[in-house]
Chains A and B, each alone.
Chain A
Amino acid sequence: KQEVTQIPAALSVPEGENLVLNCSFTDSAIYNLQWFRQDPGKGLTSLLLIQSSQREQTSGRLNASLDKSSGRSTLYIAASQPGDSATYLCAVKSDYKLSFGAGTTVTVRA
C-alpha cells in the first residue's frame, strides 16, 4: 500500500523567500507524481505532473524534482508572494489511483 508523507505540515514565510516543500512515498513503483494547490473550501488546481521517467518539471516560478529510487519529490516555489498562500498536495500514481499526502499549508506574509 502506497503511503505519502508531506513535510512540513505548515510553513510561514515572509514575502520574497523561496519555498521548499517535501513529499516522500513508500513504494517507488510509480507512474507519475503530481503537485496540486488547494485554496480553502475550493477544488484542486494541478501545478506540475512529473512522469516516472523524468527528473524534474518547471513552470514559471515552480520547479518540482523527482527521485523515484529514494521515494522523494520536492516542490520549489521561487520568490514567494502572498497569493501563493494555500495548501499544496502531493499525489502519487501507482496502478490507476492517486495516493495523496496530507498537504503542506503555506502562508506567505506580506
Chain B
Amino acid sequence: NAGVMQNPRHLVRRRGQEARLRCSPMKGHSHVYWYRQLPEEGLKFMVYLQKENIIDESGMPKERFSAEFPKEGPSILRIQQVVRGDSAAYFCASSPPTGGLNEQFFGPGTRLTVL
C-alpha cells in the first residue's frame, strides 16, 4: 500500500509565478490536510479537505492561496503570484474516511523555493 505521495519534491519559482503542489492520499483515504513549515518554524495547519469539499481553511493566508480536492485526482495546493516569504516546505497528510479523528499519515513534502 503506497504511502502519501507528493510532487514535485522540489519546486523553484520566480517571484510572481504560480506554484502548484500535488498530493495523492493513501489508498482508501478521503481526508487530506496541508501543513506548512517555514524556515526555522514549526509546522502549521493550513487547510482540511474532503472529496470536493473544503472543511476548514482557517490556516490559509487570505490571498493568493487556494486548495482543492476533486472527486478524481490528487489534491492541489495552489499559490498565485508567489513571493519570497512563500518559500517553505509544504506537507500533505491523509486519513481514512471514518473520520478526522484518526491518525494522519504524512507525505515527504514539497520544498518550494522562490527566487
Cα(A49)–Cα(B102), bound, Å:
11
Contact stretch, chosen from A12-20, A40-48, A74-82: A40-48
| Interface pair A95/B100, CB less than 8 Å apart | yes
- How many A-B pairs have beta carbons closer than 8 Å: the answer is 55
A44's contact among B48, B56, B99, B106, by CB below 8 Å, is which? Answer: B106
Contacting residues, chain B, for A91 (C-beta < 8 A):
43
Q: How large is the interface on A (under 10, 10 to 19, 20 to 34, 35 or more residues)?
A: 20 to 34
Given contacts A43-B108, A46-B106, contact A97 B33 (CB under 8 A): yes
Residue of B nearest to A101 (CB): B42
| Interface pair B111/A103, CB less than 8 Å apart | no
Contacting residues, chain A, for B55 (C-beta < 8 A):
96
Cα(A17)–Cα(B93), bound, Å:
34
Q: How large is the interface on B (under 10, 10 to 19, 20 to 34, 35 or more residues)?
A: 20 to 34
Cα(A4)–Cα(B45), bound, Å:
13
Residue of A nearest to B59 (CB): A97
Contacting residues, chain A, for B33 (C-beta < 8 A):
96-98
Measured CB to CB, the closest approach of chain B to A23, in angstroms, equals 12
| Interface pair A96/B106, CB less than 8 Å apart | no
Known A42-B108, A101-B42, A102-B41; 13 more pairs at CB < 8 Å: A43-B91, A43-B106, A44-B91, A44-B109, A46-B103, A46-B105, A91-B43, A95-B100, A97-B33, A97-B48, A97-B100, A98-B33, A100-B43
The 21 sampled A-B contact pairs (Cβ below 8 Å) are A31-B101, A36-B106, A42-B108, A42-B109, A43-B91, A43-B107, A43-B108, A44-B106, A44-B109, A46-B105, A89-B42, A91-B43, A93-B101, A93-B104, A96-B31, A96-B56, A97-B59, A98-B45, A98-B93, A99-B45, A100-B35
